[in-house]
């Protein structure tokens, strides 16, 4: 894989059927009717490469008990430059665990570029690549080569690429294997593991900056799609009295719990809830391993009048933000601020159109082509 300065995973907050097809026109046109598939997406950007990675449900469900979890398939794909970004996204929808595009590629043709991707050990790469190519309108499957890799090598290289990130003056995100550059600053210690949120990606930065401005002390905060738990932890360090993190991915809940411990967060101030991917199965509290709420048939944690939040942030992706808008906003108190991120600037019109009936005084902040929208929940809801 091409080297980069950081590596991330974004847990997709909610998912539908494992093999439900995804219209990849959503990456260009963001159609409302297009439902996300069941992959757990992530995003990544650096100055030298564009990285997007995900933990795929296909990877976690399709492998057998005999799968060697320490091995993976490293797939190098040669494709036209003008479709590389879309193909990278599409690969994540059809089985890839991560993809990277090296902008300094030395591909023989100036019109082509290499995509380096990682697949689970027993994934049918040919089928995945065929489906990905077809979904974006490629007439032929791009040339590719496959090599077997070891998970330990991937993790070691990933750790070496992480460095402390200064989000803004006085706010640092620090990998737990490195020393904080400024011990007097607000330092969020992080071991990202297999969950998105290292502070390096623009959407995470935008959410952290929004959160820092909103938390004055004593607020109840909901991190909708908590991933590494970075926002939930940050809210408490800024002065919130309670953070609740929801996620569909058990790895994200485990990662967030671990990161809370690294930051000496008291268990009673940060609740982590695993939201079921299937209907009619219980929702478990990470700390007690007990059912925490009665489940509705749509797989969501019910919201009672006593469980409303002063600040709600959902840093996920466009499709779930559109599909789950009513549910996301339902967690907020009337007049509470709801932040929405994980979206490209060009996708903002879809967010504004969908949320204008739910929020008022909507404002937008942008960074490196990514956006964060926030507004107050209408009192009439």
The span from the CA of 379 to the CA of 377, in Å, is 6
Instruction: Identify the residue whose tokens are 């070691």.
Output: 156
pLDDT given for residue 110 in this prediction: 76
pLDDT given for residue 349 in this prediction: 96
Which structure tokens are listed for 60?
A: 């976690």
CATH 3.30.70.260 in the chain: give the residue spans.
71-103+111-149
Are residues 270 and 233 in contact, defined by beta-carbon separation less than 8 angstroms? yes
Backbone angles phi, psi at 9, to 5 degrees: -130, 140
Q: Return the ∠ at Cα 109 (arms to 107 and 115), rounded to 5°.
A: 40
pLDDT given for residue 287 in this prediction: 45
Is residue 14 helix, strand or coil? coil
pLDDT given for residue 34 in this prediction: 28
pLDDT given for residue 109 in this prediction: 64
The span from the CA of 252 to the CA of 288, in Å, is 17
pLDDT given for residue 194 in this prediction: 53
Which structure tokens are listed for 300?
A: 């969501």
CATH architecture classification, 71-103+111-149: 2-Layer Sandwich (3.30)
Are residues 350 and 318 in contact, defined by beta-carbon separation less than 8 angstroms? yes
3-state DSSP of 152-213: HHHHHHHHHHCCCEEEECCEEEEECCCCCCCCCCEEEEECCCCCCCCCCCHHHHHHHHHHHH
Which structure tokens are listed for 352?
A: 């504004």
pLDDT given for residue 19 in this prediction: 24
Residue 169, Cβ density class (10 Å: 0-12 exposed, 13-18 middle, ≥19 buried): exposed
Backbone angles phi, psi at 323, to 5 degrees: -65, -35
Mean pLDDT per 10-residue run, the chain (381 residues)?
A: 32 28 30 28 30 32 41 90 88 85 65 89 92 90 88 62 86 90 94 65 93 96 94 97 93 92 95 69 40 35 62 94 95 97 94 97 95 96 84
Are residues 147 and 158 in contact, defined by beta-carbon separation less than 8 angstroms? no
Read off the DSSP letter of residue 316: S
Residue 162: which of 178, 150, 146 has the closest Cα? 178
What are residue 222's DSSP bridge partners?
244, 312
The span from the CA of 132 to the CA of 138, in Å, is 9
Q: Where are the alpha helices (DSSP H) in the chain?
A: 57-62, 84-93, 125-135, 151-161, 202-214, 230-238, 250-262, 318-323, 325-330, 348-355
CATH 3.40.50.150 in the chain: give the residue spans.
163-276+303-377
pLDDT given for residue 104 in this prediction: 61
Residue 362, Cβ density class (10 Å: 0-12 exposed, 13-18 middle, ≥19 buried): middle
The CATH number fitting domain 163-276+303-377, selected from 3.40.50.10490, 3.40.50.880, 3.40.1210.10, 3.40.50.150 = 3.40.50.150
């Amino acid at each position: 894989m091409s080297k980069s300065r950081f590596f991330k995973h974004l847990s997709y907050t909610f998912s539908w059927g494992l093999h439900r097809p995804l219209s990849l026109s959503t990456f260009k046109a963001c159609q409302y009717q297009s439902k996300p598939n069941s992959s757990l997406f992530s995003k990544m950007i650096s100055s030298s490469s564009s990285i997007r990675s995900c933990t795929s449900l296909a990877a976690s469900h399709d492998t057998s008990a005999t799968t060697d979890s320490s091995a993976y398939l490293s797939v190098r794909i040669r494709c036209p430059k003008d479709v590389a970004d879309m193909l990278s996204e599409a690969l994540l929808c059809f089985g890839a665990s991560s993809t990277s595009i090296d902008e300094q590629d030395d591909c023989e043709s100036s019109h082509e570029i290499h995509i380096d991707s990682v697949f689970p050990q027993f994934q049918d790469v040919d089928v995945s690549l065929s489906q990905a190519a077809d979904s974006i309108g490629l007439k032929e499957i791009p040339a590719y080569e496959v090599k077997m890799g070891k998970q330990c090598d991937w993790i070691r290289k990933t750790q070496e690429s992480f460095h402390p990130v200064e989000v803004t003056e006085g706010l640092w995100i620090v990998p737990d294997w490195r020393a904080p550059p400024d011990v007097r600053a607000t330092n969020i210690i992080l071991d990202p593991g297999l969950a998105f949120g290292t502070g390096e990606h623009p959407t995470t930065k935008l959410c952290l900056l929004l959160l820092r401005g909103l938390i004055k002390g004593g607020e109840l905060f909901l991190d909708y799609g908590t991933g590494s738990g970075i926002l939930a932890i940050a809210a408490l360090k800024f002065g919130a009295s309670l953070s609740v993190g929801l996620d569909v991915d058990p790895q994200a809940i485990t990662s967030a719990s671990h990161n809370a411990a690294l930051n000496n967060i008291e268990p009673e101030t940060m609740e982590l809830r695993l939201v079921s991917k299937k209907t009619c199965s219980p929702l478990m509290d990470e700390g007690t391993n007990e059912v925490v709420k009665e489940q509705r048939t749509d797989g969501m944690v019910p919201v009672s009048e006593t469980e409303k939040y002063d600040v709600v942030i959902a840093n996920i992706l466009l499709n779930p933000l559109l599909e789950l808008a009513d549910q996301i906003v339902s967690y907020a108190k009337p007049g509470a601020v709801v932040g929405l991120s994980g979206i490209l600037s060009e996708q903002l019109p879809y967010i504004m159109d969908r949320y204008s009936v739910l929020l008022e005084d909507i404002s937008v902040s942008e960074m490196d082509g990514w956006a964060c929208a926030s507004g107050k929940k209408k009192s009439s809801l």
